[in-house]
Amino acid sequence: MPGPLIAPSILSADFGRLADEVAAVTEAGADWIHLDVMDGHFVPNLTFGPKIVAAVRGASPLPFDAHLMVSRPDDWVQAFRDAGADSVTLHAEAVQHLHRSIQGVKQAGARAGVSLNPHTPLSVLEYVLDDLDLVLLMSVNPGFGGQSFIPRTLDKIAALRKMIDARGLDVDIQVDGGVNTRTVFEVARAGADVFVAGSAVFGARPYAAAISAIRDLAREGLEARAAASKAASVGA
């Protein structure tokens, strides 16, 4: 069983010292660096563009995971790839032709992700899931760090886990929003494998303790899930 991956979101970092913050969470044991890109249109907040990503790329050897919360994300995929993003995730709600958008990410040479807002049903993934490297389920309405986890997301994670396993796919389930030591066990037990945490990492000190506390609870959740599915298959 692969271990849980922890992806600190720099949305909650000190933007005045962004490169140092990226280096600090890298040193503290992060697995990916999560980059929340917001345009003030798709979401009611503005963050940063590819130039900032390129500016901090040298601060870490970890995968850079770009989460584009922007309208017309297709126009920006190549720019974020060129800036050093290893994966590019766009929102299904932001594009007209989701299949085309996913191909665009792959053609740019990045791992392809699709994100769904809390209200968006999984059915939108039915005919594209096989083309994806990751699905990002929003567990808050996107736009801000520090919001509360929406509990109904747990059912959605479990349903997506079933879809992925039923097809025998290797698609990461990433969960983003309100992930912290109070929620991560259930998020992992429901079937997630990549855990985005903004305020729970950057709002805590030291970062290494915050990351390992989240990782330990995520691992326990994954183990609980594995034990439950083993018991179910023995009982079957």
Residue 8 touches ligand DX5, criterion: CB under 6 A: no
Mark whether 39 is an active-site residue: no
Residue 187, CB half-sphere, CA atoms under 13 Å: how many? 34
**Segment interacting with Zn ion (CB under 5 A) among 21-29, 63-71, 77-85, 217-225:** 63-71
Closest contact distance (angstroms) between CB of 180 and ligand DX5 is 7
8 Å CB contact between 47 and 70? no
* Closer residue to Zn ion (CB): 67 or 215: 67
Q: Which of 31, 133, 176, 193 is catalytic?
A: 176
- Count the Cβ atoms, other than its own, within 10 Å of residue 98: 19
Mark whether 75 is an active-site residue: no
Report which secondary-structure segment, H or E, holds 165: helix 153-166
Among 87, 89, 153, 199, indicate the residue that binds ligand DX5 (CB under 6 A): 199
| Positions in 124-183 near Zn ion (CB under 5 A) | 176
Helix or strand or coil: residue 134?
strand
| Residues touching ligand DX5, count (CB under 6 A) | 22
Q: Which of 31, 36, 39, 193 is catalytic?
A: 36
| Residues touching Zn ion, count (CB under 5 A) | 3
Give the sign of the dihedral formed by CA 50, CA 52, CA 55, CA 56. negative
Can you spell out the DSSP letters for 45-102? -B---HHHHHHHHTT--SPEEEEEESSSGGGGHHHHHHHT-SEEEEEGGG-S-HHHHH
Please tell me the distance from the alpha carbon of residue 142 to that of residue 82, in angstroms, as a whole number. Answer: 25
Binding site for Zn ion (CB under 5 A): 36, 67, 176
Binding site for ligand DX5 (CB under 6 A): 9, 11-12, 34, 36, 67, 69, 140, 142-143, 145-147, 176-179, 196-200
Hey, which residues are catalytic here?
36, 176
